[in-house]
Structures are given as C-alpha cells and as structure tokens.
Amino acid sequence: MDSTQTWRHTTVLRAEAIDHLVTSPDGVYVDGTFGRGGHTRELLSRLSPQARVVAIDRDPQAVAAATSGDEPITDPRFSIHHTAFAQMLPTLAALGIARVDGLLLDLGVSSPQIDNPERGFSFRFDGPLDMRMDTTRGESAAEFLARADERHIAEVIRELGEERFAVQIAQALVARREGGEPVRTTRQLSDLVARAVKTREPGQDPATRTFQALRICVNAELEELEQGLKSALQLLNPDGRLVVISFHSLEDRIVKTFIARESRTEVDRRAPFAPEPEHRLRPLARIKPGETEIRANPRSRSAVMRVAERTDALVTAPGAGA
C-alpha cells in the first residue's frame, strides 16, 4: 500500500477548535495529533507570518500525507515530526522551543485509519488485525491476543471497552487459540465476538466495544493522554490554551479530571498555614458538535471538546531549550 494514498477525512470541530486555541496570531502552536491536517490548515490560515506551527503524529502515513500527499503543506511556518504526543517535551526541546501559546489534541482514531482495511481498526472491513497507530513499532492486536492470558484479555475488554461480556469473549479467544487457530484478522474477531455477545444496544455492532478496547490497549492511548496533558501544562505560556477533543467517555473523563484538578486550589494538610498554591488552569468551555455538523459527519456525534487556559507563571520544562 502506498503510504500517501488518499483516505477521506472530515475534521471535527475544525473552526471551533481554532477559535478557542489562538490567542496570539504571532505565537507558537502545537497540533499534537495531525491526522490529515484539517486543524493545522485552519490554524495556519489564522496566524501571522511570524507564527510557528509544530505538528506531531505517530502514524507514518499521516506524516507522509503532510509532506508528500495530494495536498502537502509547504508553508515555511510549519513542520511535522513522527513521534507520539507523549514525547512533546523532548521533540520541542530539540527544536529550541520551550514555550507554546496553544496546544491541540484531537484524540482517537482518524477516518483514514478506520477506512483502510490494512490498518485493522474496523470490523466493517476484513484485514489483518493490526490496530497500531504507529506501524513501525510495537505489538499488533493479533500479537497481543496470541500471547495474553485469559484474565488479562478479559480485563482489557472490560475496562477499556466497558464490555459486560468480556469474560465470555476472552474465553472464546483463548479456546480458539488453544485449538490452533488464533484470531489474526478483523473478520475472525468480529465473528467470534458476535457469537459470544448475546445482546447489544440497538444499532451497535456487537464487536464495537471489543475493537475499541484492543485499539486503546495496543496504542496505550490512556497512558499517552495522561502524559501528554502533563507535558502540555509544562509547555503552555501564561494565557496559553489547551484544546482537547475526545470521542469516548474514558478519554473525556481523564481530560475533565485533569482540568478540574489543575484548576482548583489544594491545601497541603501537612502544612495548613503554608501559602495556597495558585490555580494552574482555568476551564473555559465544553463544546459538542451542532446538529448541522453531525448530519454532515455522523462520526462527530460522540465528540466533546474541552478548553482550558494556563493561568500562572510557568516552571521551566525539563530539558527544554531557551
């Protein structure tokens, strides 16, 4: 497969995200999840010639699309880097960037990843059960299911997919593996889950929750999100903006909890007379797509965008350049 092949993607909350992200047209901004560049292109259109935009994506196909696809970005204010957004601090430090004025994270899986059967993200197409966002490293979903024990598989499907039939699915997966036919394709997994899941919400495929769980596990998405949020707090200038778009409750809960924790004063009970710490974030908005966007792009229905602003003086990020 040509890594530059075009797969259609509609950017969710494109204008709204950039409306809330930009506070200074001359600033430095980070798109931590470039995807196919919808947010980045909108961001560049709002900034002055003095601004700078750094994009990050761990999917090599996304990076290739940015530099050599049908619509490469040739803007001198722009650069893109193949890495995970959890690695923002060293990536930006290597570029001599210690502070940014805004940081955007558009979480989850993109339409080009879902719609390409070779990536293995979707039960709608038959393909290898891969699910890695970075296809150059790590363990595929098939490899995880080939080595994990039944208890571990059940925990992943239950906790990350919120699937009440997790035990039955794990038992079926291990039984098939022990019978000499481990699951290797999306169709095999989808069919197995359909037999193990006896009931499902109307309109939802029985495999939906299991596919979500394995994708999150293989890509360590929740751990990466927590690290990325911590990095953002170190990087943002005072009055800098954090914009995060989530697509399921596990992601949104982490973002909501992080913003809440960093926006309230916590008194150290061991030193009750010490000065209260300053708030580090100020919540600004919670936004969902409108009906017009949902009709045009049904995949946007579950999106939740949260916006926060850095409020206090910033401690120098470890390893960051001047």
pLDDT tens digits, 182-201: 999 999 999 999 999 987 77
**Spatial separation of the C-alpha atoms in residues 229 and 242, rounded to whole Å:** 9
**Spatial separation of the C-alpha atoms in residues 254 and 242, rounded to whole Å:** 14
pLDDT tens digits, 209-268: 999 999 999 999 999 999 999 999 999 999 999 999 999 999 999 999 999 999 985 555
Reported as half-sphere exposure (CB side, CA atoms, 13 A), residue 225 has a value of 26
* 31/91 same-domain check: yes
Residue 62 and residue 110 in contact, taking contact as beta carbons nearer than 8 Å = yes
* 225/304 same-domain check: yes
Asked if residue 274 belongs to a domain, the reply is: yes
Asked if residue 130 belongs to a domain, the reply is: no
| Structural domain harbouring 87 | 14-112+221-310
pLDDT of 2 = 39
pLDDT of 269 = 61
List of the chain residues with pLDDT < 70: 1-9, 265-278, 313-322
* 152/283 same-domain check: no
pLDDT of 113 = 86
Asked if residue 315 belongs to a domain, the reply is: no
Number of independent structural domains in the chain: 2
Full-model pTM: 0.89
Which of 218, 249, 272 delimits the end of a domain? 218
Which of 193, 218, 243 delimits the end of a domain? 218
* 281/194 same-domain check: no
CATH number for the domain including 211?
1.10.150.170
CATH number for the domain including 57?
3.40.50.150
Asked if residue 60 belongs to a domain, the reply is: yes
Kindly state the tokens that stand for 88.
């923002």
pLDDT of 310 = 96
Neighbour-count burial of 74, counting CB atoms closer than 10 A to its CB (0-12 exposed, 13-18 middle, 19+ buried): exposed
pLDDT of 70 = 79
